[in-house]
Amino acid sequence: MSNNLSWFTKGLVGALLAVLGFTSCEVEEPIPTYTLTTTSTPAEGGKITISPQVPNHPEGSQVTLTPEPNENWVFKQWEGDATGSTTPLQITMTSNKAITGVFVKRDYPLNIKIEGEGTVEEKIVTNPSGREYPHGTTVELTPKPKEGWEFEGWEGDLTGKESPKRILVDKQKNVTAKFERKKFLIHTIKVENAPKNMGSVHAIYYLRNNKEYIIDGSVNWNDPSNATLPLFRIRRGETQWVVENIFSNVDLSDIRNHEMLKNGEGFAIGDHGPEWPNLPWPHSNLYVGKFSGDNITWEKVSENKSFYHDIAVGDLNSDGVLDVAGAHLGTRFGNPDDPHVYFGNGNGTYKEQLSVLPPGDFPGGCCGDTEIFDFDGDSKNELIGIGGGTSYPNTSIKIWKFNASTQNFQQSKYISNPIPTLAPQTGSYSNLQKGNVSPTGGFTGNMPTNKRFYDLNKDGKKDMILESDGLTLWYNQGNETFTPFRLNEQGKDLGAYFENYYAMSGFDVIDIENDNDPDIVTRIFTFGNPNTTTGIDLRKLIYINDQGSFDRLTSTDYFLSNAQLGQQYPNALRAIVRNGYLWFIGPSFKNDGAGPYRIMLEVQTDIPASYWYESQ
Ligand SMILES: [Ca+2]
Ligand SMILES: [Ca+2]
Ligand SMILES: [Ca+2]
Ligand SMILES: [Ca+2]
């Protein structure tokens, strides 16, 4: 059992004692209660729903009455212990009450059509003089959008957007009420008993057996005592994310990068330990986690800790068993290979294969990224190292092929990025800590964090998306030739990734609008600077692909102001697909007086989306 479990247990016992103490010490005065009876007149006209629906209402409690007319009936007014025609009706219980809802037959020729999701409440408006309108009935229409929808306007015999709106039905009238899905909804969901760390932008989100999980770790800037907390897993419930596991027996504390296994059976994590700008870096490990029912079976891959910046999985030696490569930016143990290679034994263990790469290919350290991919289309995977060196030169790509007879890798190709490096406005951790993150570039410019191979322009050849120096797309021309193209230099306003001080760390490939083009959604993070932004412009995170040419959403409604976010600033925000729509989720803290506690900030959008899968 870890310390984390024990503080959790102590907290639980403390809470139970507090409850027991409360019930044994307090003496409660009985609170008077009252009854509420409702009647529909006539009974066939409709019914009245009561909320809350309890037999006895405590004194001073609020009750809501909502009339629900049957077809061809309209609610008219309240009688008895209530008056007027307000709906829904809020009353305060100060005595027993009997309230009647009066319904009248709907005998006017008004047709209401609904577009989107919602209803229209009809109310007959009586003449203040008591006289009926001479030329028909005047009806007041109130659009009632379903949750997550909003009223967009009237069409037909009514126009505009006014609500409620009156219509004189002196002949047959046809009205359309248009509802539109809200551009976004913000949900703040508590994470109960989460370990006291900040959470990583590269947390693993996955869906399994209809349950949503996140495996997360620590990002810690300065505090060694909080630096090596174990990974934990949370599961999404309706109102809370619940901590399901604290993985104390797994020697990881952060998820610097991860890759989902291509058959969907698990994931691989590369970690370099907590992010410390001024302290000795603790280094960390490579692991593979495999799903087993609702649980995870962990396989330790690395023998020694290193500064693992990325991990790749795939079969490197064509024996049918998954292998692992870890990109490292320095190591304690003098393992100079770039990257570190581990061949799978097929039984959940791995064999370290150092010195199988030509030495010195990246002087000063290896790549920020590594990948296992069939680069030349000969059905055998190559090992790829991207970016690199402690001096962070322009992005370069190095490709090694496995030679089965020598059991070594040989250099196959070296591709230099001819695109000039962006000015490194953001290249220090201390700048990031101060929130001085460039609005136009990513962090440090050159050191890649994420890469993916997808056919972006649908010419049958997989292209590379590389996060380095902004987002760079490398279009595959065949014959191992790639043409790089920086996404923010397309002649359009695609350059400013972030509103104010958000920086990018990685991206996700998602089919926005389900039109069979893979699109790119960048992840933003603040690296622990939650107070440096005025809002988040979702449009600037989303790159919409049309056959290899990219553009952005246009509606300004996709800007989330700090007020809309409830003055909560996610440490990171990344895209997921939930129930067929694009969502953004990220960890944050909320402080409502009881001290800060961890929340998951979730932004639900109206953008249809699905994950983009391509077999490798
Ligand atoms: Ca293998
Ligand atoms: Ca190949
Ligand atoms: Ca292509
Ligand atoms: Ca698309």
Please check the confidence at residue 438 and state whether its pLDDT lies above 60.
no
* pLDDT (0 to 100) of residue 363: 61
pLDDT of 134 > 70? The answer is no
Q: What is the 287 CA–ligand 1 centroid distance (Å)?
A: 16
Q: Which residues have C-beta within 8 Å of that of residue 110, sequence separation ≥ 6?
A: 122, 139, 167, 169, 172, 173, 174, 175
Residues contacting 39, CB < 8 A, separation 6+? 80, 98, 99, 100, 101
Q: Decide which of 200 and 522 is more confident.
A: 522
Angstrom CA distances, 336 to 99, 102, 282, 414, stand at 83, 84, 18, 19
Quick one: pLDDT at residue 9? 39
The mean pLDDT of the chain is 81
Residue 22 has pLDDT above 60, yes or no: no
pLDDT band for position 572 (cuts 50, 70, 90): confident
Instruction: Kindly give the distance from the C-alpha atom of residue 377 to the centroid of ligand 2, in angstroms, as a whole number.
Output: 5
Q: Compute the distance from residue 165 Cα to the ligand 4 centre, in Å.
A: 39
The ligand placed nearest to the CA atom of residue 324 is 1
Q: Specify the residue for token string 């989303």.
A: 542
pLDDT number for residue 411: 84
DSSP of 485-498, one letter per residue? EEGGGSSSS----S
Question: Could you tell me the distance, in angstroms and rounded to a whole number, from the CA of residue 185 to the centre of ligand 4?
Answer: 22
- Across 40-44, 86-90, 170-174, 561-565, the highest mean pLDDT is recorded for 40-44
- pLDDT above 60 for 441: no
Cβ contact 519:607 at 8 Å: no
CA distance 185 to 224: 37
Question: How far does residue 532's CA lie from ligand 3's centre (Å)?
Answer: 38
Instruction: Using a CB cutoff of 5 Å, list residues around ligand 2, an ion.
Output: 374, 376, 378, 380, 382
Determine which helix (DSSP H) or strand (DSSP E) holds 298, and give its type and residue range. Answer: strand 295-300
3-state secondary structure 104-170: EECCCCEEEEEECCEEEEEEECCCCCCCCCCCCEEEEEEEEECCCEEEEEEEECCCCCCCCEEEEEC
Cα separation values, 592 from 548, 596, 599, Å: 46, 7, 12
- 387 CA to centre of ligand 1 in angstroms: 24
For ligand 3, the distance from its centroid to the CA atom of residue 53, given in whole angstroms, is 60
Side chain identity, residue 146: K
Residue appearing with tokens 């949370």? 234
**What would the DSSP string read from start to end of 326-369?**
EEEEEETT----SSEEEEE-SSS-EEE-TT-S-TTSSTTS--SE
Does 440 have pLDDT greater than 90? no
CB atoms under 10 Å from CB of 355, counted, come to: 12
Taking 50 as the threshold, does the pLDDT of residue 546 lie above it? yes
Q: In the structure, what pLDDT confidence band is assigned to residue 524 with cuts at 50, 70 and 90?
A: confident
Ligand index nearest the alpha carbon of residue 517: 4
Q: Listing from the earlier edge strand, what are the strands of the sheet with 149-156?
A: 110-115, 173-181, 149-156
**Residue predicted with more confidence, 550 or 504:** 550
Task: Find the ligand nearest to 458 CA.
Answer: 3
pLDDT of the residue at 443: 42
Residue 376 CA to ligand 3 center (angstroms) comes to 13
CB–CB of 508/501 below 8 Å?
Answer: no
8 Å CB contact between 589 and 578:
no
* Count of residues in the chain: 616
pLDDT of 496 over the 60 cut: no
Judge whether residue 24 has pLDDT over 60. Answer: no
Ligand 1 center to 320 CA (angstroms): 6
Instruction: Indicate the Cα dihedral angle 287, 292, 293, 294, nearest 10°.
Output: -20
Q: 456 C-alpha vs ligand 3 centroid, how far in Å?
A: 5
pLDDT tens digits for range 575-592 = 999 999 999 998 887 777
Rounded to an integer, the average pLDDT of 538-552 is 86
Of residues 7 and 456, more confidently modeled:
456
Cα of 338 vs centre of ligand 3, distance in Å, is 28
Token pair of 152 as six digits: 């967009």
State the distance from the centre of ligand 4 to the C-alpha of 434, rounded, in angstroms: 36
User: What value does the mean pLDDT take over residues 298-312?
Assistant: 93
Mean pLDDT (whole number) for 534-540? 79
For residue 412, how many other CB atoms are within 10 A of its CB? 16
* Distance from the alpha carbon of residue 313 to the mean position of ligand 2, in angstroms: 15
For 86, 208, 307, 327, 352, the CA distances from 358, given in Å and listed in that order, are 80, 41, 20, 15, 16
pLDDT at position 368 is 81
Which range has the top average pLDDT, 133-137, 288-292, 356-360? 288-292
- Per residue in 345-399, pLDDT tens? 999 999 999 888 887 776 655 678 899 988 888 899 999 988 764 444 456 788 8
Alpha helices (H) in 466-606, listed in sequence order = none
Question: If you measure from the C-alpha of residue 360 to the centroid of ligand 1, how many angstroms do you get, rounded to a whole number?
Answer: 24
pLDDT for 103 equals 92
Quote the pLDDT of residue 494: 40
Tens digit of pLDDT for each residue in 228-280? 889 999 999 988 999 999 999 999 998 989 999 988 899 999 999 887 767 78
Asked if 565 and 601 touch (Cβ cutoff 8 Å), the reply is: yes
pLDDT at 233: 94
Q: Specify the DSSP class assigned to residue 404.
A: T
- Per-residue pLDDT, 362: 65
96: nearest Cα among 51, 142, 130, 63 = 63
Per-residue confidence (pLDDT) for residue 358, from 0 to 100: 83
Q: What is the pLDDT of residues 315-337, one digit of tens each?
A: 999 999 999 999 887 776 666 67
pTM exceeds 0.85: no
